[in-house]
Structure 1
Amino acid sequence: MNLFEKYGGADFWSDFLNTVYENLTASKYTRHHFRSKNISHIKEMLLALLELTLASNAEISEASMREAHRDLGISNEEFDEWISIYRQALSDYKVADQDCVYIIDILSSYRRSIVRYI
């Protein structure tokens, strides 16, 4: 069984993303990235990406990730906050430690493509 289905599929991961985005939009480090944004659309896209990566082990290209985040100006500190919030939510949702490590490693591997170095 793949990681997407292991925890309950779309329903589980949708609830998980609701928690993640509640915390991201409340964080003083990341909330400015979500003002006037369609959070529902962002969550839908991320749910699809989670399914793609956790169900089929597909990789999203760094070029695609870079393009999607090109104009967002995300700093290292903001990226670290996002990872921290994600990690806490994984723990809160009782995702197994080895699965947390796997997911966080995937997310962290995109740092160079997401963070804007000035």
Structure 2
Amino acid sequence: MSDDQTVFDRLGGHDAVESVVDDFYDRVLSDDRLVHHFEDSDTTKLRAHQVQFISAVTGGPVDYSGRDMRSAHRGMGITHEEFDIIAGYLDTALDGNGVSDEDRTQVLEQVEELRPEIVEAR
């Protein structure tokens, strides 16, 4: 493994990120505690944005062009508990797709930095 490889490269590129995102959303959308947040959502579009987002934060050749996190999640009422569950599903999806502990930690740290923009105080 080359030191100049990005996490995106080590994940396996675009196809691997798509697999992670599909696994992640399959878990999230199967969870009765979370699915209500997605009832009126175009999940195909969400998956595409998530692929773009994960690709961008892992150093892929992509610039994320979706709405900023605060705008995208405003009014959803996402709690800290729900954020933790979702982050756990992302970790599980990354692990299940062969992502190393070090790379999973790096991705999850970047997601954790977004907590203040996603979680809404109740």
The match for 2:44 is 40
Instruction: Give how far 1:59 is off.
Output: 9.6
- RMSD, aligned α-carbons: 2.1
Q: Going by fraction, where is helix more abundant, 1 or 2? A: 1
One of 86, 93, 98 as aligned partner of 1:94: 98
Gaps (5+ residues) in structure 1? none
What do residues 14-49 of structure 1 show as CA deviations (whole Å, max 9, x unaligned)?
A: 111111000000112211111131111001111111
Query: Scaled by the length of structure 2, what TM-score is found?
Result: 0.86
Looking at structure 2, the residues matched to 91 and 15 of structure 1 have their Cα atoms a distance apart, in angstroms, of: 12
The answer for unaligned runs of 5 or more in structure 2 is: none
* CA deviation vs aligned residue, 1:59-87 (integer Å, no higher than 9, x gap): 98xx9211111121111111111011111
Q: Which among 68, 80, 83 is matched to residue 64 of structure 1?
A: 68
Count residues in correspondence: 116
Match of 2:20 among 13, 16, 20: 16
8 Å CA contact 1:29–1:77 kept in 2: the answer is: no
Partners in 2 of 1:115 and 1:25 — Cα distance? 18
Q: TM-score, normalised by structure 1?
A: 0.89
Identity %: 23
After the TM superposition, which segments of 4 or more aligned residues of structure 1 sit over 2 Å from their partners? none
Aligned partner of residue 68 in structure 2, secondary structure: helix
Letter of the 1:40 counterpart? T
